[in-house]
Amino acid sequence: MNLVTLLKSDSSRVAFLSNEAIAWLAAHGYNMVRDFKTMDLVHCPCTLVPSPFPRSAFEIAVGVQPLYQELYFKVAQDHAFLQATLASTAQQDEFVARLLRVHREVYLDNSDSKRQTITLNIARSDYMVQGSQPLQIEYNTISCALGVLATGVANMHAFFAQRGLVPELNLDRVLLNGGESGLVSAIADAHLLHGFPGAVVLMVVTENETNICDQRKIEYGLFARGIPMMRQSLRQLHALGSLDAKGQLFLEGKVVSVVYYRAGYIPAHFPSEVEWNALELVERSLAVKCPSVPYMLAGFKRVQQELSTLPVVSRFLAEADARQVLRTVSPQWRLDLSDSDTQRVVADAILRPEAYVLKPQREGGGNNVWGADIATFLSSASVADRAAYVLMAVIRPTPQPALMLRKGICVEAEACLSELGVYGVYLHDYARPAEQQVVQNQAFGHLLRTKLDSTLEGGVATGYSVLDNPLLY
- Contact (CB, 8 A) for 405 and 8: no
- The closest of 277, 249, 221 to 98, measured between CA atoms, is 277
Note the pLDDT of residue 165: 96
The domain ranges of the chain are: 3-330+403-472
- Contact (CB, 8 A) for 467 and 146: yes
- Report helix, strand and coil shares of the chain as percent, to nearest 5: 40, 25, 30
Note the pLDDT of residue 135: 98
Looking at residue 329, what DSSP letter applies? B
- Contact (CB, 8 A) for 449 and 458: yes
Question: Per DSSP, what are the bridge partners of residue 249?
Answer: 243
Note the pLDDT of residue 34: 85
Other C-beta atoms lying within 10 Å of the C-beta of residue 57: 23
Q: Is beta strand 118-130 parallel, antiparallel or unpaired with respect to 133-140?
A: antiparallel
Can you tell me the distance from the alpha carbon of 70 to that of 67, in angstroms, rounded to the nearest whole number? Answer: 5
Helices and strands (H and E) in the chain: how many: 17, 20
Can you tell me the distance from the alpha carbon of 141 to that of 162, in angstroms, rounded to the nearest whole number? Answer: 36
| Cα 420 → chain centroid | 11
pLDDT in tens, the chain (473 residues): 689 988 988 999 999 999 999 999 999 999 999 887 788 999 999 999 999 999 999 999 999 999 999 999 999 999 999 999 999 999 999 999 999 999 999 999 876 556 899 999 999 999 999 999 999 999 999 999 999 999 999 999 999 999 999 999 999 999 999 999 999 999 999 999 999 999 999 999 999 888 999 999 999 999 999 999 999 999 999 999 999 999 999 999 999 999 999 999 999 999 999 999 999 999 999 999 999 999 999 999 999 999 999 999 999 999 999 999 999 999 999 999 999 999 999 999 999 999 999 999 988 677 899 999 999 999 999 999 999 999 999 999 999 999 999 999 999 999 999 999 999 999 999 999 999 999 999 999 999 999 999 887 777 776 789 999 999 99
Q: Is beta strand 249-251 parallel, antiparallel or unpaired with respect to 133-140?
A: unpaired
Q: Strands (DSSP E) along 167-310, which ranges?
A: 200-204, 229-232, 241-243, 249-251, 254-261, 288-290
Can you tell me the distance from the alpha carbon of 309 to that of 137, in angstroms, rounded to the nearest whole number? Answer: 16
Other C-beta atoms lying within 10 Å of the C-beta of residue 138: 18
Question: Per DSSP, what are the bridge partners of residue 255?
Answer: 250
Residues 6+ apart with CB under 8 A from 321: 67, 70
pTM across the whole model: 0.96
